[in-house]
Amino acid sequence: MTGDMTKITSQDGGEFSAYLAKPSTGSGPGVVMIQEIFGITPWLKEIADDFADQGYVVIVPDFFWRLEPDFIADPAIESERTQAFQYRSQLDHPKAVEDVDSCLDALKAIPECNGKITVVGFCLGGTFAYLSSTRLPIDAAVSYYGTQIHQYLEEADKVNCPLLLHMAEHEDNFPIEDTNRIRESLGDGPNVILHMYDTGHAFANASRADKYDKAAAELAHKRTFRFLETLK
């Protein structure tokens, strides 16, 4: 199945695009799925559709809408990749968390959503899955190789829901010292499950031949669906 684009109203009166994928039958938990720095790419839509096929109602918000609405970049094109990193540096994190919160409200208004909500994010989105677990009233969070979690470890004791972290042993977006800080601050937390994978950053992105690790990705997704099963 495939989803459709929709619009969501922000808390400050703006409006942003989002991809919405729903189960073909029945109802299930809601998922706010947060992008990498490259926008709502075809790959991300495919992942959202995969979650919908598993019985989840998924909203994928345009996270850079305040900077450039509907921005999509190809990481293989240097100029587009550079622009994506620039937008990451310009992103207003508190406002972005508010946008996640707006997505929570939008999900709860969808009849197919059973009222349980999780936030799942990749790369940039992995950081916001973590921040959602400390700042928003959600039922679970899943972070795939969040690139800025180490900058927010002062919030580690505020994780208020089950949090699943998928991290790469050979991360190239930040040094091993920061990986170790994340493991020390979150790895033994009461609400946290942390898995390390013998691979590099973006290992779940099947559209990137230079990054994709099929075995690691399949294992991570299997663990994610098992982790979220209690929300159904």
Rounded to whole angstroms, the Cα distance separating 131 from 206 reads: 25
Provide the pLDDT confidence category of residue 1 given band limits of 50, 70 and 90.
Answer: low
- Per-residue tokens: 223: 């663990």
Q: What is the pLDDT of residue 31?
A: 98
The count of other CB atoms within 10 Å of the CB of residue 4 is: 9
Report the distance separating Cα 34 and Cα 16, nearest Å.
Answer: 14
Instruction: Indicate the Cα dihedral angle 122, 76, 151, 96, nearest 10°.
Output: -60
CATH code of residue 178: 3.40.50.1820
What pLDDT sits at residue 173? 93
Instruction: Determine how many CB atoms are found less than 10 A away from the CB of residue 194.
Output: 16
pTM of the model: 0.97
Please count the structural domains in the chain: 1
CA separation for the pair 119, 142 (Å, rounded): 6
Local confidence band at 2 (pLDDT 50, 70, 90 cut-offs): confident
What's the angle, vertex CA 165, arms to CA 159 and CA 166, rounded to 5? 170
Q: Residue 200 pLDDT > 70, yes or no?
A: yes
Lowest mean pLDDT among 101-105, 155-159, 186-190, 193-197: 186-190
Helices (H) and strands (E) in the chain, counts: 6, 8
What's the mean pLDDT in 4-31?
97
Which H helix or E strand runs over 36?
Answer: none
The mean pLDDT of the chain is 97
The type of residue at 20 is L
Q: How many CB atoms lie within 10 A of CB 173?
A: 14
Q: What are phi and psi of 95, to 5 degrees?
A: -65, -35
Give tens-digit pLDDT for 122-174. 999 999 999 999 999 999 999 999 999 999 999 999 999 999 999 999 999 99
> Quick check: 189 pLDDT over 90?
no
Structural domain of 221: 4-231
